[in-house]
Structure 1
Amino acid sequence: MSESQFKDWIKLSAVIADVQDTTNIECPNCHQFDVDYQYVGDIQSRTGFLDIWCNACLHGIHLSRTKAPEKASIIPFDAVEEYTKKVPKFTPIEPV
């Protein structure tokens, strides 16, 4: 397994903002096509954070202060149970 870089994961955030289907997105870490994401935030303003992870290797990133696109699914800040069901505990890739 290669060690992915934070910048490789950041690039995925731009791709995810444009598409809803992640089946063609390759994980920068293990190169599997099993990437998923979830926006969490204020439903009215659609601002909050974004988690992107790979279900195969369980690596990913957490991006704060982001805005969810109109078509993207967003979980409210207070929906902790919904968040924990959707987002697995992944190993965060940190900037170096």
Structure 2
Amino acid sequence: MFNKWLMIYSNIADNPLKMEALKCPNCKNMGTIDYYFIPYTINNELGSAYIWCNDCKKGIHLDRVGIPKNTKIIIDESIKLDEVIPSFKEVTPEEK
């Protein structure tokens, strides 16, 4: 299951404007995936990715990933992450 979520990351990286075409690997619903990137670096090229399904509340958190151009990022430190990123059950590499 984790590998399917990695494919979601790849799809976002390739075309962040086509979110409605993504299907949740867990609940199989279309158009329910959302995400944010949190940059570590000044140039916003490396950071964390939070990707989740708004329906089943499952998803992944990836660290030290490239942040693709034209994606949603949070750079304002005054923004509280729990106000824009919902609580979700993290899918881990151990889950098949």
2:25 equivalent in structure 1: 28
1:52 aligns to what SS in structure 2?
strand
* Residue 15 (structure 2) pairs with residue 16 (structure 1): no
**Structure 1 unmatched runs, 5+:** none
TM-score using structure 1 length? 0.85
Identical residues among aligned pairs (%): 32
Deviation of 1:79 after TM superposition, in Å, equals 4.2
Contact kept, 8 Å, 1:43 with 1:76, in 2: the verdict is: no
Superposition RMSD on alpha carbons, in Å?
1.6
Equivalent residue runs for 1:1-96 within 5 Å: 5-21=1-17, 22-33=19-30, 34-41=32-39, 42-76=41-75, 78-81=77-80, 83-96=81-94
Contact kept, 8 Å, 2:35 with 2:72, in 1: the verdict is: no
Q: Which runs of 4+ in 1 moved over 6 A?
A: none
